[in-house]
Structure 1
Amino acid sequence: MHEIPRHEISEEFARGQVDTLQRLIESALEDVESDPDALSAARRRALMRFEYLTALDPAAGKEETWQAAVFASQTANAVFARTSKSEDFVPYRLGDREYQLPVLGPNHHATPVDWLTAAWLAIITRSEQRIAELCEVGKYTLLGSGAKVEEYVRPWVDTMQRYLGGDQVPPALLESVIDLTDPGQAKFASSDFMLLVAYPPANILFRVLRGGPEDFTDALVQATTAHRDYWRQVDFADNPDGFVALAVLAMAIRGKDHGFPVEVESDYLPENLVSGTWSSR
């Protein structure tokens, strides 16, 4: 078993953020049926709250942490639920209530990067329904967001939609993702981001689809270590996005689903999320 410790996080600060973010989420939810921007605000706050909870509950053994992950996944999907409907409103359940969300069509809240985040959360929470919803999001919806993204992002979305939808992933498609995460290909991101954040999850999926257990383990160790190396830098160490390795965690879960043992222990990969403890209850 490979142990990869998480970088130091202030639990006192995290605890305060959890409470503050819950109030901000509740405030945003009051406006999601009237303010088109409120759902995006709730989505970001929900993800951050889940991430801060993992600082307090590294194994994700508490129901509060699990429910926060589910709610973050729901809000991430809801943004896409309102992009391609012909009606004025679309019903969507967030938490224990169904909301009538205003339909916007393609918009700047529903970018390819947002789609990837939603996919990681849907995999982590093992929601076949939300995975299916994301597989139905069309490329023109994502193009219509107007977002400027690195070249690897769109083929990465295409790869994940095919993979999660049960279709064959052409080797050349995934290989193109890996090639385009080369730091020399970066247009907006830093070389460190491309090397330590963008590339490793794609490499794990490559090993899941075309390698064996040892290849998968090597890729998972490298990816988790790379995540730590990026997010422990002084400029990023307090950013909750670094507290849990969403994409790496999602790929670890898919590897486990393929029958590969997950032989990495790390707070970046909460063990109860890897094992599916909550989703099996």
Structure 2
Amino acid sequence: AGNPGNDTAAQLATLRLASQMGAALFRIALAEPGAETEVTIGGRTLRYPAERGEEASAGIWQTAVAFALITGVREDLAPLVLTGPTVAHPDGSAFTAYREALHAYLKGTEPEAAAQRALQEAEKAKHWGFTMPPAVLLSQLVEGDEESFNLALADTLEAHRAYYQVADRADDPNASVNLDVLALTCHARRRGWAIRVDSPYLPQGLLRAAEPF
């Protein structure tokens, strides 16, 4: 998605397929274990025995939410809101507070307190040597502050660029696009917010496709 000249329609088709796969995984996790669950992926109806295994982990939940927010397909987001990041197992990672805050925001249940905890955890992790999810961006969505969101977006993308310039990180598949940042930005667009940051890390075709509801 980060390569210039790519076909936006082709990008969206791939992203929608990924979004359907993530939603299907958590629909399966929602069902009574052992029951047969019917899901649709890429136009195909498939049936799977319901289970809550490692595939429905908190990390996969976060990625699935990102794809659902980028594509804006509400039916893909629904099972992710219903399950949450710990439907299969406790989280216990450095990203736990962010995932809890994201889930609280999507549910609309006391997101302010959860977002504050995510900010505190992100502050503690500044020198841990890895990138944290965009807690500041999420907090601005929670607060409904469009101007601060744009300021935080510019800072977040600059931090992303700086991180992936070090050593061999430029070859990492995550270097070209931060899915969590792109997801929150597409969601902000659908809220009707103007995105004033122009960056190669924000594919313009995908942003234009994120039309306000």
| TM value normalised by structure 1 | 0.67
Structure 2 counterpart of 1:66, from 2, 12, 36: 12
The Cα shift of 1:95 comes to 1.0
- Is contact 2:105–2:142 with CA below 8 Å preserved after alignment? no
| CA–CA distance in structure 2, aligned partners of residues 140 and 261 of structure 1 | 33
Tell me the matched-pair count. Answer: 211
The Cα shift of 1:123 comes to 0.3
Gaps of 5+ in 1: 1-53
The equivalent residue for 1:92 is 39
Answering whether residue 139 of structure 2 is matched by residue 206 of structure 1, we say yes
- Is contact 2:177–2:202 with CA below 8 Å preserved after alignment? yes
Answering whether residue 106 of structure 2 is matched by residue 149 of structure 1, we say no
CA 1:210–1:55: 2 relative to 1, 3 Å? closer
| CA–CA distance in structure 1, aligned partners of residues 62 and 120 of structure 2 | 18
- Is contact 2:97–2:121 with CA below 8 Å preserved after alignment? no
CA 1:109–1:230: 2 relative to 1, 3 Å? same
One-letter identity of the residue aligned with 1:192: G
One-letter identity of the residue aligned with 2:102: M
The equivalent residue for 1:137 is 83
Structure 2 counterpart of 1:179, from 111, 114, 120: 120
The equivalent residue for 2:152 is 219
The Cα shift of 1:238 comes to 1.5
The equivalent residue for 2:172 is 239
**Higher Rg:** 1
Answering whether residue 203 of structure 2 is matched by residue 275 of structure 1, we say no
- Is contact 2:122–2:132 with CA below 8 Å preserved after alignment? yes
Q: Following TM superposition, where does structure 1 have runs of at least 4 consecutive aligned residues deviating by more than 6 angstroms?
A: none
Identity of aligned residues (%): 25
One-letter identity of the residue aligned with 1:96: G
The equivalent residue for 1:114 is 60
- Is contact 2:84–2:103 with CA below 8 Å preserved after alignment? no
- Secondary structure at 2:132's aligned position in 1? helix
The Cα shift of 1:139 comes to 6.0
RMSD: 2.5
| CA–CA distance in structure 2, aligned partners of residues 220 and 229 of structure 1 | 14
Structure 1 counterpart of 2:196, from 255, 263, 275: 263
The equivalent residue for 1:158 is 100
Q: Deviations over 1:212-261 (max 9, x none)?
A: 33311110001111111222323221222222111111111222233331
- Secondary structure at 2:170's aligned position in 1? coil
CA 1:92–1:111: 2 relative to 1, 3 Å? same
